[in-house]
Structure formats: structure tokens, C-alpha cells
């Protein structure tokens, strides 16, 4: 069964450092998303991406965040200068439809900022 894969599974970083989280969406999907989940809280939307550009972003997704699809398979989330409050589980998701279809989530990348 096709799946969304994410790396790394866990990253520990110092405050102020840059972090890149990587995702390989399901191959025929066209819509890509990043969500985050702070421990014990709900899953929050960060950004959606389609046709090589951001479709929508939340207020959480400020100038410290960026996304990129550097090649035909990877989808990355970069945090330029991490803050303590960026510590969370980050989930990548993909879909073959917008608004009507299922989002397939990866297993997440746990980011710990010290």
C-alpha cells in the first residue's frame, strides 16, 4: 500500500538552528500539506502546496517557515531559526484531490528544540 514517508523520525536541535524536515508523498498525489501537533494537543494546519506554490498557509506559518518541492518526489519543510515553541510532531500529508479526498499522513517527524 502506498504511503507517505518522513525523515527524520526524531530531530533534536538547539534554539536558533535551521531544521529541514523531509517528506516523500504518495507518487501520484498532487496536493501536499504540513501539519503539526504539539504534545497532547490537536493537529494544526501549517501549509498546503499545489503546482509548486503555496495554496494556503496558517498564521503559524510565518517567515521562519518555508516549503519546497526540490525534485519530483520530495517535499520539505524548513524552519530557519528554531524556537523552543517549535517543538512538536510535524506531519506531512498528501492527497490526490483537494477538498473532496482523503489526506494520507506520514508517521511524523518529532522536533525537539533545546
Q: Cα 85–90–96 angle (5° rounding)? A: 145
32 contact partners, CB below 8 Å, separation of at least 6: 23, 25, 48, 49, 50, 67, 69, 75, 92, 93, 94
**Is 82 an interacting residue with respect to other proteins (CB under 8 A)?**
no
Q: Which one of 7, 12, 56, 83 is in contact with other proteins (CB under 8 A)?
A: 56
Shortest separation between residue 83's beta carbon and other proteins, angstroms: 23
**Is 64 an interacting residue with respect to other proteins (CB under 8 A)?**
no
**Is 106 an interacting residue with respect to other proteins (CB under 8 A)?**
yes
Residue found under cell 498532487: 30
Closest CA to 27 of 96, 97, 90: 96
Q: Which one of 33, 34, 61, 75 is in contact with other proteins (CB under 8 A)?
A: 33
**Is 65 an interacting residue with respect to other proteins (CB under 8 A)?**
no
**Is 69 an interacting residue with respect to other proteins (CB under 8 A)?**
no
**Is 107 an interacting residue with respect to other proteins (CB under 8 A)?**
yes
Question: Which positions lie near other proteins, rule CB under 8 A?
Answer: 4, 31, 33, 35, 41-45, 48, 55-56, 91, 93, 95, 97-100, 102-108
Amino acid at each position: 500500500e502506498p504511503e507517505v514517508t518522513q525523515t527524520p523520525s526524531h530531530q533534536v536541535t538547539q534554539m536558533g538552528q535551521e531544521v529541514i524536515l523531509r517528506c516523500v508523498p504518495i507518487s501520484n498525489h498532487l496536493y501536499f500539506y504540513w501539519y503539526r501537533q504539539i504534545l497532547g494537543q490537536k493537529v494544526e494546519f501549517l501549509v498546503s502546496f499545489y503546482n509548486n506554490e503555496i495554496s494556503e498557509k496558517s498564521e503559524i506559518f510565518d517567515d521562519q517557515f518555508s516549503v519546497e518541492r526540490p525534485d519530483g518526489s520530495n517535499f520539505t519543510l524548513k524552519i530557519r531559526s528554531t524556537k523552543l515553541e517549535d517543538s512538536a510532531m510535524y506531519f506531512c500529508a498528501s492527497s490526490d484531490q483537494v477538498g473532496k479526498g482523503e489526506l494520507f499522513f506520514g508517521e511524523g517527524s518529532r522536533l525537539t528544540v533545546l
